[in-house]
Amino acid sequence: MRQHLIHLNVLILFLCSSCAYESQNREKLEASFEDNFGFKPPESVIEIKLKNRGYFDFQVRYMSFTYDSNVLEKIVAHDQLLNIAESNNVKFENIMEELEKDASPPIWFDLTNKNVDRIYYKNDFLDHTFSEYYLWTNKETEMTYLYVHFFD
């Protein structure tokens, strides 16, 4: 009986300190897109996927959406502080290694670097102890991916 109470307490602690949310509602997905990029997605962005995950004092946001060169240009213009890591570059490889360490990305979140030319990134851009932002497009799937991670 005592062991069951310990397991129950651990389960309650885990459930109270973490959460994950993955939306299928187009209106909520569009609102999240606008929150991230400062504008509503145009009709060319047919598909949007989103998962937010949080544990204790950190948050991770995963997003993917249909690639459109005009949309990507608008995002890059909106986020003026973006750096660029080109493929076959040490920084590019470091970013990919860092992303691969993520313990539980959604199944649809593509981390392959075979069809990616560049990663747009920035660090310590939010009012938190640590923050990182990565944005890239997979040429084969024609999807753009966003990864934002921050903690206090």
Q: What is the mean pLDDT of residues 80-94?
A: 89
Question: pLDDT value at position 102?
Answer: 80
Predicted confidence (pLDDT) at residue 23 exceeds the cutoff of 60: yes
pLDDT band at 9; cut points 50, 70, 90: very low
User: What per-residue confidence (pLDDT) applies to 143?
Assistant: 95
| Bridge pairing between strands 83-86 and 58-66 | unpaired
96-134 pLDDT, tens per residue? 998 888 877 888 888 777 789 999 998 765 564 577 889
CA-angle at 52, arms to 38 and 151, nearest 5°? 85
Do the beta carbons of residue 67 and residue 135 sit within 8 Å? no
Which has the minimum average pLDDT: 5-14, 25-34, 64-73, 98-107? 5-14
How confident is the model at residue 3, as a pLDDT?
Answer: 56
**Helix runs in the chain, H state only:** 2-17, 26-37, 69-78, 90-100
24: helix, coil or strand?
A: coil
| Look-up of token digits 């991230």 | 36
- Give the CA distances from residue 147 to residues 12, 15, 23, 32, 36, in Å, rounded to whole numbers and listed in that order: 28, 24, 16, 13, 11
pLDDT at 137: 94
> How high is the pLDDT of residue 71?
96
Backbone Cα Rg of the chain:
17
